[in-house]
A = this chain, B = another copy of it.
Amino acid sequence: MKLLIVSTSTVHGKPYLSYLDKELPCFFTEGKNILFIPFARPGGITWDEYTEVATKKFSALGYTMRGIHTFASQKEAIDWANGVFTGGGNTFVLLKTIYDSGLFELLNEAVRNGLPYMGTSAGCNLTGISVCTTNDMPIVYPPSFKSFGWVPFNINPHYLDPDPSSKHMGETRETRIKEFHKFNKQMVIGLREGSWIYVDGEKIELKGELSARIFNASKEPFEIQSGDLTPLLKG
């Protein structure tokens, strides 16, 4: 499998996806046709509106992008694609639409057979075992919280460190993930904005300038630096 698991599409103060300008051409190398999955609908925008945003960026990088909803069938869309990009938005809306539209099995098979997949935010949550570590509001009820499980852990995108000056009594991200581990066993990678994970077959690598925070059910959380994550997954 070939995956780009990206915490956020946009870092503060920079244009959409621009911090990945060097990474994207190195990732999508199998051809120019990139299929966009707009189902997460950030801010509730339509599939067409969202596809336009992503297409503008990918066109500038020399790719041909089409939204999956513009094909006669999802199978035709997958057959056309040399790569897939799933944009962020609401994870529950995204996952429910993937299940309800029948895309789950089709996309799962294609990616497991080598179709490169990039997901930002909600789109990156789907690469893990479940969406149970999303930060999103559960505005619709999907038929399951199970996601693709292409990597043997869960992602927490937009990972935020506790703010010691905060007077807000809502749970910190760390508390939430610790609660997750009372009910679930898999490792969680807290991926800060500006970080991403690159997977190519057996190779799995943390990229970007920031460290990531690793949560296990039976250990104290700890930081890992950019680089090869294979030892972590074996250990």
Contact = CB atoms under 8 A, between A and B. Distances in A.
A90 B139 contact: no
Q: How many copies does the complex hold?
A: 2
Contact of A137 (B13, B135, B160): B135
17 contacts: A42-B171, A42-B179, A43-B175, A43-B179, A44-B182, A90-B179, A131-B138, A133-B139, A134-B138, A135-B170, A137-B177, A137-B179, A139-B176, A139-B179, A139-B184, A158-B168, A158-B169
A144 B140 CA distance: 10
Interface string A84-99: 0000011011000000
A63 interface: no
A169 B193 contact: yes
Nearest to A194: B169
Contact of A139 (B12, B41, B132, B137): B132
B137 A145 contact: no
A234 interface: no
B144 A141 contact: yes
Bin the interface of chain A by size. Answer: 35 or more
Given A136-B176, A137-B134, A137-B176, A168 B193 contact: yes
A106 interface: no
Interface in A152-181: 158, 160, 167-171, 175-181
Nearest to A176: B137
A222 interface: no
A194 B131 CA distance: 31
Given A179-B43, A183-B93, A10 B169 contact: yes
A93 B184 CA distance: 12
A12 B145 contact: no
A53 interface: no
